[in-house]
Structure 1
Amino acid sequence: MIRTAFLALLFVVLAAAAAVAASAAFIGGTVVGADGKPVPSASVTLEGNNMTATGTTDAAGRFAFSGLAVGTYTLAARTSGGEGVVQVDLGSQGATVTIGLLKVVGSVRVLRTPSIAGSGTDIVLNQTQLARSPAGGSLPGVLLQLPGAARGANGVVHINGDHGDINYVVDGVPVPQELNRQIGSEIDPSDISFMDVLEGAYPAQYGGRFAAVVNINTRVGNGPPGFDGSVLGGSYGHLDSRMGYHAPLGAGSLVVDVRNEQSDRALDPPNFAAVHDRGGNANQFVRYTLPRGRDFWDASLSHSYQAFQIPSDVAGGQPVATDDSETQDDAFLNLQYHHALRGDGALTYGVAFKRSRIRDSGDPANDIGYSLSSDRTSRDVTLDVDDVVRSARHEIRAGALYDAANVQKIYRITLQVPGAASTVTDDAPNVGHTESAYLQDAWRMGPRWRLDYGLRWDGFQVFSTEFDRGFSQVSPRVKLTRLYGSRGAVYLYAGRFFTPFSLENVSPTAARELNVLLQPTLAPFDLKPQRDTDLEIGGHLPLGPGELGLRVAQKSATDLIDDTQVGTTALHQDINYARGSISTQSASYQQPLRNGGRVYLSVTRTRAVNQGCETQLLAPCFGSSTDWTPADHDQRWSASGGVLRNDARGGWLSLDGEYGSGLSSSYCRPASDGCKVPPHLTFDVQKGIAIGPAAALTVGVLNVFNDRYLITYLNAQGNHYAAGRVFELGFRFRTR
């Protein structure tokens, strides 16, 4: 009752305040003439993300558009004396641009928004860069292009030494992730039109997961009705088809997209040769945006259904005929209202619903050790309010979020003891509540200094038939930036983070039955949220036509959250280590090319270690080392790089490369800090051949040098091999 009253009061206060949206960004700037002088009373039109807005420059030639979602926008300034048009990739940090009026109409400049307000390795990817990447059809493949990314098995990506704890924010709303998903990905990259990735120096508006924050803007469509689609076929029986449609609908804009994909090698198998490894997914997406002057409603619905055969471990003695499988069914509904305030301000109110269901079907006759049959469903209802006000020196943001979650589960885990098989059943539901509120300010102290500071409060409660726990934390965050013109900056950052554990957990009674020899008495429910202290130094340096970003970070964790496999099943359970430490040193170079292309290169060194496993709910801690040990997701060196060259005819050539020094393994005897799987180096290439103004053939080769490396070996993720060389041939088209 007290918590409910507090939240109601908080929402009322925030609704009455003039603060700014967590998902909102600003585009401001100046219109200048051919002589470089500001132009007053020029008409400025902004178009993008299913919306159009207009404004007029003031006496000093300045303009501003507030409360915008991240994405790609076109700005057009017009007077009787000329016209200027620029295309802007708008990240969450906003953008300040200059539009020069030209007498030649039709010239468009493509700008990459300055990122010096973020961390040293933040990345912005627009729709063209995403669609023309060789790995653009795979979200893990896209994430592996990020600085500090290390490939885990079956679609898991570890960023900056963290355990895959990526915070996805879709159209301004954090996506709940209640179930312990170890394979597949519920977000379809074909639904993404823009991605803004924050890798550090997080302001107070962000909470939950801190490996990276991935702000995603979903598919948009402007202008007259049109279709777009693609079909692709390749090695391992891979077939991928997609069809999209966009059109004006009433006063708004409608986008519809469907995709179907199947493959004979859907997961990373435990053996060099994949056995029993087919899979597929079907995705549907709808988005409708309704502008009302400078305000707009935005509604989106995404649905994903994935089905996988679990590869058989034939080398480990599992029969070829073993028939384990898993299905994942996810739906996410999001409704947002954006209201522009007078001046530079905006309010955003939203409600979202998320349902996820994962089902595992075991094969007790052939499974070794354990056999899993499970059906788990999570349902989340999220309410959020985010507000902003902006002045010449300050940008004040405030917001609150409440999430109510319910996890219904049935686990049937059969212990395959010869002559005495037994089944442990766990059907205890879990209920969770998450609350958060934040207040932050970006203070432009002068032409050379900027201070970002804020305070965040997080609360988390979890209930079940055998436990009732609650936690909270107040997290201050501060960042001081020294600016060197429009392209250079150096910053210092300090912040506290709070990460709740997963709501999907094995009950204490079931845990004792699974580990009766090691755990003869009922263990307490002893999971705890992770609490971090993060210290960073970094910056941005102009380097020729590009930009070099640097980031050095030290994150120290109390009650670090990791996960462990339940027996040899596909079910994973959160555990705590008493302490954790992640050291990161990263450099990232980005250079824009003509026609919207780019060159990028990043090198990262990380060291992720844990100390003192302290969870007794399941038995992984019994007999484990109490000293510092490398995390299973620790990869000391990672590098990625690539180039996208677009030609004037609508074709392109893209190349991506990825290097990893290898994740941790336990094959060494005695165990050592440097015990890793062998390193790998892979290259992917794609050529797009324009066959008209709106169609292209694509030819691609993934893993060009056929490096079928071990992704993981003898660690908590099991054994997994990467796929070999893949050939792909596709066709893309659009009409409008």
Structure 2
Amino acid sequence: MLRGNDVVTGTIANELGNYEIKNLLPGHYTVVAYIVGFKKSKTDVNLVPGRNELNFSLESTDITLEGVTVTASEQKKSREQKVDIITSSPVFKETTYHPAPSSLPSTILQQNIPGAVQAPTGEVHIRGQHAEYSYYVDGIPIPETQSEEMVELFDPRVIDRITFRIGDLPAEYGDALSVIDVKTKIPATPFQANVSSYAGSFNSSGQSISFTGHTGNFAYFLAGSRKLTDRRLDTQLPDIFHDHGEDYYGLGKVQYILSPDDIISLDIDYSNSKFQIPFDSTGGIITDDHQKETAGFQNLIYRHGINTGEGSGELFLALTHRQGTTNYIPGASDVPSFHFAGDSTTSYNIQETRVFDVYGGRSTLAIPFSDIFSLKAGLESYWTTGDEHFSAFRDSLLGPQSIEPLNGYDFGSYIQTTYTPLPIFQVDAGIRYDRHHAKGIGTESQVSPKFKLTYIPEVSTTAYVYYGRLFVPVLVEQLREITGAEGSVTQPTRAVRGNYFEAGLTHSFSTSLSTKILGYYTEEKPGMDDNTIPGTNIQTPVNIDKIYVRGVEFGLDYHPEGPFSGYFNMAVSHAQGVGATTGGFLPAEPPTTAFDLDHDQRITYS
């Protein structure tokens, strides 16, 4: 919060146009609201102790899904500052991001999240975890691991903003340790079209096109892109070869405003990737493996604003469908190298074909009962169907075949509260119940408490502690029973269960310079990693008896008024496994001494 003509604080209105700014001192303010394509609205207001309500409209009077930015500045000359205690999660805005044209969503994660690293195969590891994170696209969970973790879900150009919710998740979010909360674009201007193209090294090239429009209560956004490169998988070999890849993306979104309190929208997304699998020629084996993947989702979303007189609540209802396919095709000249358990003499090549669909729905209800107490509750359920086909062969010999159905369901419910007994304390407490069922595993369930205590010793400083119980099951579509083809099925991969602890401190040195430092500790029993099926590039999730992750992170953010801004992130972590590696329907590896996980990244910075 600034004094004089400077900015004191700011926020972004939600999809229904509601906004909230906390911890303002009483006094005279000027509230400014603006959005691209509309004239600024300026309103003078005298704030008194307690709750103050200010309604305003921009010249067009349209409520859009594009965020309305609200800022306030006080006319008094004072050095006292206060910071909104609910803004500790980093926020990425597309309007201030100018990436390379070949950038992907995983690139944004690696650049903006301390302790995030990208493996050569494409998946992103956050805070020493395997890949236990999920996208939430306009409020609907879209797991990153829904396919082979090599097909990206969408092009970054469709993103309006992202909130990175890492570690200290409320009960609302299940089946993940981190959440990438994505809001897609909805335009404010009547019509706009963009076309672009690029070319670069490693035979890279790409094209993109988008159309947007907003007329009255109706708005739409359509975008598509194509990307080619000879370095699709970021292999660590010095010589890049057999690494060509092609990616295609498409997203369409329409929105209609039924009333000032009711909005309905539809998201349709599709992505397609096909690429070569690189290999190390120094090993004496030449392969010509290829992989093709598709992924997509369709979300129908309804939002209804609730005004209780004590604040703005919301009812959220959604129906969703997502689908994916995977085809792993070995080369005709590949040297067979896969052996089934118990048969060390006969080797095979492995081909995989997988198709799945997930149908489900999600609902949430948020109600503020007073200035100091609010409640949020929700239900979600998803049903998965599909099948997976493994074929083993060598030359003209057909080996064991495995055709397994992919059937299962997930159910989750939660309730969480926010209580502010004193201006310097806020308590966020919740509890979540998850139930997961899949063929070959049966039913797994858990009740998971979440608790966060936030303390504001002074207006420019926020400290917090957090505890959350972990439950992250393997997605039904990720299960593989290749070893069942010859009757030697071993145990499946079980859900991650564990405890997560975090403590952090944020401080604003000035209105343009702020910092955050935190430490965390995770213990998982069992934990999760992945193994590569021998002789292929197919990865399957497995359990490690125990996993321990410890780390500290530091972030510095500099955003003055003007065209320049910057940030610095640094993290030190240690991810360690102890005990046997089991699951994945693969033969168990016996217990060993403690070992560093293959994605353990001690020091990262950006």
TM-score (normalizing by structure 2): 0.84
Number of matched pairs: 562
Q: Deviations over 1:372-410 (max 9, x none)?
A: 322211211120101111231122111111011113111
Q: Which amino acid aligns with 2:483?
A: A
2:389 maps to 1:376:
no
Q: Which amino acid aligns with 1:476?
A: P
2:199 maps to 1:221:
no
Q: Which amino acid aligns with 2:446?
A: Q
Shift of 1:115: 6.5
1:591 and 1:395, CA in 2 relative to 1: closer, same or farther beyond 3 A? Answer: farther
Q: 235, 240, 263: which one pairs with 1:274?
A: 240
Shift of 1:448: 0.6
2:141 maps to 1:174:
yes
Q: Give the conservation status (yes or no) of the 8 Å contact 1:31–1:57.
A: no
1:513 and 1:420, CA in 2 relative to 1: closer, same or farther beyond 3 A? Answer: farther
2:488 maps to 1:488:
no
Runs (4 or more) in structure 1 with deviation over 6 Å come to 22-25, 52-59, 75-78
Q: Give the conservation status (yes or no) of the 8 Å contact 1:247–1:253.
A: yes
**Corresponding residue of 1:644:** none
Q: Give the conservation status (yes or no) of the 8 Å contact 1:179–1:503.
A: no
**Corresponding residue of 1:469:** 442
Q: Which amino acid aligns with 1:271?
A: L
2:578 maps to 1:578:
no
1:381 and 1:46, CA in 2 relative to 1: closer, same or farther beyond 3 A? Answer: farther
Shift of 1:327: 1.1
Q: 382, 394, 403: which one pairs with 2:382?
A: 403
Shift of 1:458: 0.6
**Corresponding residue of 2:220:** 254
**Corresponding residue of 1:447:** 423
Structure 2 distance, partners of 1:254, 1:401, is 27
Structure 1 distance, partners of 2:566, 2:252, is 33
1:55 and 1:307, CA in 2 relative to 1: closer, same or farther beyond 3 A? Answer: farther
Q: Deviations over 1:215-257 (max 9, x none)?
A: 0011221122111232211111111211111112562111111
Q: Deviations over 1:150-185 (max 9, x none)?
A: 231132221111112221100111014564514232
Q: Give the conservation status (yes or no) of the 8 Å contact 1:332–1:355.
A: yes
Shift of 1:76: 6.8
Q: 593, 597, 600: which one pairs with 1:634?
A: 600
1:116 and 1:232, CA in 2 relative to 1: closer, same or farther beyond 3 A? Answer: farther
Structure 1 distance, partners of 2:402, 2:465, is 48
**Corresponding residue of 2:297:** 332
Q: Deviations over 1:468-522 (max 9, x none)?
A: 50011001111111114443211111110110013245665x41557xxxxxx73
Shift of 1:199: 1.3
**SS, match of residue 142 in structure 1:** helix
1:407 and 1:155, CA in 2 relative to 1: closer, same or farther beyond 3 A? Answer: same
Q: Give the conservation status (yes or no) of the 8 Å contact 2:133–2:144.
A: no
1:246 and 1:238, CA in 2 relative to 1: closer, same or farther beyond 3 A? Answer: same
1:158 and 1:590, CA in 2 relative to 1: closer, same or farther beyond 3 A? Answer: same
Structure 2 distance, partners of 1:326, 1:376, is 12
1:229 and 1:473, CA in 2 relative to 1: closer, same or farther beyond 3 A? Answer: same
Shift of 1:603: 1.2
Q: Give the conservation status (yes or no) of the 8 Å contact 1:270–1:311.
A: no
Q: 544, 548, 561: which one pairs with 1:594?
A: 561
Shift of 1:138: 1.9
**Corresponding residue of 1:674:** none
**Corresponding residue of 1:432:** 408
**Corresponding residue of 1:511:** 483
Q: Deviations over 1:548-567 (max 9, x none)?
A: 11111111101111111111
Structure 1 distance, partners of 2:318, 2:58, is 32
**Corresponding residue of 1:725:** none
Structure 2 distance, partners of 1:565, 1:129, is 39
* Equivalences for residues 157-196 of structure 1 within 5 A: 157-176=124-143, 179-196=146-163
1:431 and 1:249, CA in 2 relative to 1: closer, same or farther beyond 3 A? Answer: farther
**SS, match of residue 153 in structure 1:** coil
Shift of 1:589: 0.9
**Corresponding residue of 2:19:** 27
Q: Which amino acid aligns with 1:478?
A: F
Q: Give the conservation status (yes or no) of the 8 Å contact 1:155–1:185.
A: no
Structure 1 distance, partners of 2:23, 2:569, is 35
* Equivalences for residues 104-183 of structure 1 within 5 A: 116-117=85-86, 122-130=89-97, 132-134=98-100, 137-145=103-111, 146-176=113-143, 179-183=146-150
Shift of 1:142: 1.3
Q: 318, 323, 328: which one pairs with 1:360?
A: 328
**Corresponding residue of 1:386:** 364
Structure 1 distance, partners of 2:391, 2:559, is 53
**Corresponding residue of 1:62:** 52
**SS, match of residue 315 in structure 1:** helix
**SS, match of residue 626 in structure 1:** coil
1:180 and 1:298, CA in 2 relative to 1: closer, same or farther beyond 3 A? Answer: closer
Shift of 1:128: 2.1
1:595 and 1:46, CA in 2 relative to 1: closer, same or farther beyond 3 A? Answer: closer
1:570 and 1:412, CA in 2 relative to 1: closer, same or farther beyond 3 A? Answer: same
Q: Give the conservation status (yes or no) of the 8 Å contact 2:409–2:437.
A: yes
Shift of 1:317: 1.7
**SS, match of residue 360 in structure 1:** strand
TM-score (normalizing by structure 1): 0.70
Q: Which runs of 5+ in 1 are unaligned?
A: 1-21, 66-74, 79-87, 102-112, 515-520, 641-736
Q: Which amino acid aligns with 2:53?
A: F
Structure 2 distance, partners of 1:592, 1:30, is 21
1:49 and 1:187, CA in 2 relative to 1: closer, same or farther beyond 3 A? Answer: farther
**Corresponding residue of 2:204:** 238
Q: 21, 28, 31: which one pairs with 1:37?
A: 28
Q: Give the conservation status (yes or no) of the 8 Å contact 1:461–1:471.
A: yes
Q: Give the conservation status (yes or no) of the 8 Å contact 2:319–2:362.
A: yes
Structure 2 distance, partners of 1:478, 1:31, is 22
Q: Which amino acid aligns with 2:559?
A: P
Q: Deviations over 1:10-53 (max 9, x none)?
A: xxxxxxxxxxxx99995224999xx95268xx9x8675899x99
Identity of aligned residues (%): 20
324-333 vs 248-257, which deviates more? 248-257
